[in-house]
Structure formats: structure tokens, C-alpha cells
């Protein structure tokens, strides 16, 4: 018990994970009470095939976004806070958009095969209805994790980790379209939101720091 108290005392930043609770509650309410008014569809979607094997990177997303919270939480408080800010803001903004612009999709095929990949896709279809889709949370969270990994000083000289992470991120983003969970529009909207989040989480603080350093130099 003492060791747990000591750990919490030395790692209070982990308490930010409590934010998951209201976020998931908000999402549950969106899924239960928000009715889609806008069906997300692009002509590009008509050329994207259904590839059930992409259920693997789609499901791997759950580990991909969870493990970095633990790793950075233990290794780098600064990166942990940046990851928290990126992911939680991205999800929060998305949920607000789901309420303001209720979205859905009708891209899902009828599943006839009985192989393991098809069953996995069917399981995802069953627990995650085709509502509240734009922007894609899968895309936002995957990009957010990759951004933090690629900008972390912990991997500054580890190109292999950055490349592997980027490949995983791309596969996850593609998987949302190949298993027909999201439209091309949802993915683009997720990328657009991430561009704004990157500016807020990384560029704005850097600009403020440079401005502050310049002011300090001028005063001297």
C-alpha cells in the first residue's frame, strides 16, 4: 500500500487519466441519443475495397494508443502531458462536433464469410454502430500518438521506432476505410483536426518560448 502511495505521489500526472471517464461517458451518450443527420460519403469511397484483413491494424489501435500513455507516463512527464492534451482535446472536440453535426455512414457490406477476420469485423460492427463518425477518433488518436513519438527526445536518435510507429499509424488510418468503418471524409476531417492540434500542442508553446527568450535577451 505504501509503495502505491509513493508511486502516485511521484507520478501525479497519471491522475489526468481520470479524464477518460467523462470522455467515454460523453461518447456513450452520443451513441445512445444522437441520431445521424448527415451521411458521410465521398466518390472515393466507391473505389475503396472492403479488405477484412485490415481488421488487424484497426484492433491493434487499442494497444497502440494505450501503451504510450504508460510508457511516457513513466519515462517523460512532458511527453505524457503533450499526449494527454492532443488525445483528449481531439476526442472532446470530436464529440462536440458529433452533437452539432450528427454524422453517420452506410458503407458497411453484408458479411457472409465465416473466417476469423470476418468474425472480427462483425464483432466490431456489433459493438460500434455506424454513427458519430466524422471526424474519426481512430485517425485522431493514431496520429496523436505518432506525433508525440516522433517529437519525443526519447526517440531523437531512434529512427527505427519512428518509422515503425508511422507505418502503424498509416495502417490504422487506412483500416478505418478498408473495413468500412469510416468514409474518406471522416479520415480527412480527422487529419485536418490533427493539424490544428499539432499547432496548439507544439507550435504555439514553441513560439511563446522563443518570444519570451527574445524579450529576456532584449532586456539584458
Span 139-155, pLDDT tens digits: 999 999 999 999 999 99
Q: Is 80 within a domain?
A: yes
Q: What is the pLDDT of residue 220?
A: 57
Residue 155 placed within a domain? yes
pLDDT band, very low/low/confident/very high, at 109 (cuts 50, 70, 90):
very high
Going by C-beta distance under 8 Å and a sequence separation of 6 or more, which residues neighbour residue 3? none
Whether 2 maps to a domain, the answer reads no
Lowest model confidence (mean pLDDT) among 8-12, 45-49, 214-218? 214-218
Domain range for 210 is 50-103+112-215
Asked whether residue 40 is domain-assigned, the answer is no
- Residue 81 within a domain: yes
Looking at the structure of the chain, the number of domains it has is 1
**Residue 167 falls within a domain, yes or no?**
yes
Specify whether the CB–CB gap between 187 and 139 falls below 8 A: yes
pLDDT tens, residue by residue, 51-95: 999 999 999 999 999 999 999 999 999 999 999 999 999 999 999
Q: What pLDDT shows up at residue 131? A: 94
The model carries a pTM of: 0.92
Q: Please check whether residue 14 lies inside any domain of the structure.
A: no
Report how far residue 79's alpha carbon sits from residue 148's, in angstroms, rounded to the nearest whole number: 7
Amino acid at each position: 500500500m505504501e509503495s502505491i502511495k509513493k508511486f502516485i505521489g511521484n507520478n501525479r500526472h497519471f491522475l489526468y487519466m481520470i479524464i477518460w471517464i467523462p470522455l467515454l461517458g460523453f461518447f456513450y451518450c452520443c451513441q445512445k441519443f444522437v441520431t445521424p443527420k448527415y451521411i458521410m460519403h465521398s466518390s472515393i469511397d466507391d473505389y475503396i475495397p472492403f479488405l477484412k484483413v485490415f481488421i488487424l491494424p484497426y484492433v491493434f489501435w487499442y494497444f497502440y494508443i494505450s501503451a504510450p500513455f504508460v510508457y511516457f507516463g513513466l519515462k517523460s512527464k512532458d511527453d505524457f502531458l503533450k499526449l494527454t492534451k492532443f488525445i483528449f482535446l481531439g476526442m472532446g472536440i470530436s464529440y462536440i462536433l458529433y452533437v452539432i453535426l450528427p454524422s453517420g455512414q452506410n458503407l458497411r457490406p453484408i458479411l457472409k464469410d465465416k473466417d476469423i477476420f470476418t468474425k472480427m469485423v462483425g464483432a466490431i460492427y456489433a459493438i460500434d454502430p455506424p454513427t458519430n463518425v466524422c471526424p474519426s477518433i481512430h485517425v485522431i488518436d493514431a496520429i496523436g500518438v505518432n506525433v508525440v513519438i516522433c517529437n519525443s527526445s526519447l526517440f531523437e536518435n531512434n529512427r527505427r521506432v519512428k518509422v515503425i510507429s508511422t507505418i502503424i499509424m498509416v495502417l490504422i488510418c487506412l483500416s478505418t476505410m478498408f473495413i468500412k468503418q469510416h468514409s474518406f471524409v471522416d479520415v480527412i476531417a480527422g487529419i485536418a483536426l490533427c493539424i490544428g492540434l499539432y499547432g496548439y500542442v507544439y507550435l504555439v508553446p514553441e513560439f511563446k518560448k522563443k518570444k519570451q527568450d527574445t524579450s529576456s535577451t532584449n532586456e539584458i
